[in-house]
Chains A and B, each alone.
Chain A
């Protein structure tokens, strides 16, 4: 049974700003991360020691989502100012292949590549999923929505994509006809309690992921979300793709543990997910959709933003971001401390091996 046990022998990469996502490249040689400082950080992890490479630059705002080409050294990214772009991540210079300003009107929340890298999709606050050529950024179409969109993902068959919005509506789109064909209900990840003067629309379908077979779709977010402190129980909903029925609700942690920020499927079919909120909050967990409870959860891997499996299947990269919390003057020696990120690369531990103390 898989599990993760952080230890002092883990490889730990640090960055002095908060990061949103960290992903291994398909070749397994590089780790790429995006975040609050308008850059893509990259490390060559093929040697005995990780080598921090020149960051990929050209964005203006927060970079919250990346997608990596399955066979070529290209990474696609999108920022909060509406720019999308493609970079050669393997070259030392890290030059942009192309970038496009004003691809969206404002914040882009999600970027996804179709199977075989035949199409790029982006989604954002301007309520549109936009389709692009991964080769040169040429626009290929747009799918208008009634609400802000948090997430987008392609089905493994390449014929359809899904988008997740503020109210937890997951829409299936036929790529060939650019038409909406179905809705799935993730509304339990949304709340709006107008009767109690709760004027904020809270939650949403924050992240979407298919399993490799395309038979299951996972949607991450927060169960019974609230405004203000944004308290709620991190939750993953797994849907049966054929029927569209909810197969499993996977809440994890307490009602103050924040959002599920990353969800995916292990090649063996179980869900991997991580969540974050205030310092020390959040879990990392593995859950088989056929079972009622998670078979692994850790409160040592907290403040998780992403959990990525290395192509060799033997390691994962756990990205956590943190920042000083608190009201008033968070001053330290006259300075105002900012956020930071840590990427921990750790093995899938053998549960029968002697336990090592957590760092």
Chain B
């Protein structure tokens, strides 16, 4: 993440930082004890660094995975994949700060509020970055595609 910050400071416009081995199908809680502090501290430091440098208003920071983990514990004290409800953290450029949007039921199994998927998130991110969501950037087998899904819109509660 430190390298990511330096790249941003050098003018790089898109930085992706990967972290692997979070697929905790077994021994989930010990995995979390080991893994989460390794994300939590540098992620907080990244936000603080960007804030201190006056960059946070111009950088959109997103922390996400491709799905959540099962609310119930499997036989191997692990959590499997759960695409029904999970969370994304975002902040910085164009994003309202200190807000929680969306809710699950008390078991954490399903969304009880309005459902949003990745299409809504792309609309939200591009709106926050002032990129027109209808921009035709992709061409798949001669079919032009917009950068954000045509059937979705931004999540207004998230936008500053």
Q: Mark A250-279, 1 if CB is under 8 A from B, else 0.
A: 000000001100000000000000001111
Pairwise interchain contact B34-A200, C-beta atoms closer than 8 A: yes
Determine if A91 is an interface residue (Cβ-Cβ < 8 Å): no
Q: Please state if B72 and A323 are interface contacts (CB–CB under 8 Å).
A: yes
Interface contact B20-A197, CB-CB below 8 Å: yes
A-B contact number at CB 8 A: 104
In the complex, chain A residues 221-251 whose Cβ is within 8 Å of any chain B Cβ: 227-231
Chain B proximity of A90: nearest CB distance (Å): 31
Q: Which residues of B contact A277 (CB under 8 A)?
A: 26, 75-76
B interface footprint on A323-348 (CB within 8 Å = 1, 0 otherwise) = 11111111000001111000000000
CB pair A328–B78 under 8 Å, yes or no, is: no
In the complex the two chains form, is B84's CB within 8 Å of A325's CB? no
**CB contact under 8 A between A229 and B80, given known A197-B21, A201-B34:** no
A125 within 8 A of B: yes
Enumerate chain B residues within 8 angstroms of A323, measured Cβ to Cβ: 72-75
Taking a contact as CB atoms under 8 Å apart, the answer to whether B84 and A228 are in contact is: no
| Across-interface contacts of A339 in B (CB, < 8 A) | 72-75
Q: Pick the contact of B24 from A148, A227, A330 — CB < 8 Å? A: A227
B104 contacts partner chain A, Cβ-Cβ < 8 Å: no
CA distance A166 to B72 in the complex (A): 25
Q: Specify which chain B residues have a CB less than 8 angstroms from the CB of A230 in the assembled complex.
A: 24-27, 31, 76-78
A297 at the interface (CB under 8 A from B): no
A278 touches B75 (CB 8 A): yes
Cβ of A308 under 8 Å from chain B: no
Closest to A107 in B: B29
Bound together, the chains give a CA A228 to CA B21 distance in angstroms of 6
> Which residues of B from 8 to 40 have beta carbons under 8 Å from A?
19-27, 29-31, 33-35, 38
B27 touches A324 (CB 8 A): no
- Proximity string of chain B (135-157) to chain A, C-beta cutoff 8 Å, 1 when within and 0 when not: 00000000000000000000000
Chain B positions within 8 Å of A197 at CB level:
20-21
Across-interface contacts of B29 in A (CB, < 8 A): 107
- Known contacts A258-B26, A277-B26; A322 and B75 CB within 8 A of each other: yes
Enumerate chain B residues within 8 angstroms of A9, measured Cβ to Cβ.
Answer: none
CB <8 Å contact, A125 and B78 = no
Instruction: Say if the beta carbon of A65 comes within 8 Å of chain B.
Output: no
Do the beta carbons of B35 and A324 come within 8 Å of each other?
no
Q: Which residue of B lies closest to A280 (CB)?
A: B75
- Give CA–CA (A324, B73) in the complex, Å: 9
Chain A 298-318 interface mask (CB, 8 Å, partner B; 1/0): 000001000000000000000
Q: Which residues on B are within 8 Å of A, measured CB to CB?
A: 19-27, 29-31, 33-35, 38, 70-78, 80-84, 107, 109
Q: List 22 A-B contacts (CB under 8 A).
A: A18-B73, A198-B21, A200-B34, A202-B27, A202-B34, A204-B30, A228-B21, A228-B22, A229-B23, A229-B26, A230-B26, A230-B77, A276-B76, A278-B75, A323-B74, A325-B25, A325-B76, A326-B74, A327-B81, A329-B84, A330-B80, A336-B107
Not counting A230-B24, A277-B76, a sample of 13 additional A-B residue pairs whose C-beta atoms are within 8 angstroms of each other reads: A198-B21, A200-B31, A200-B35, A228-B21, A228-B26, A231-B26, A278-B75, A279-B75, A325-B75, A327-B80, A327-B82, A329-B84, A336-B71
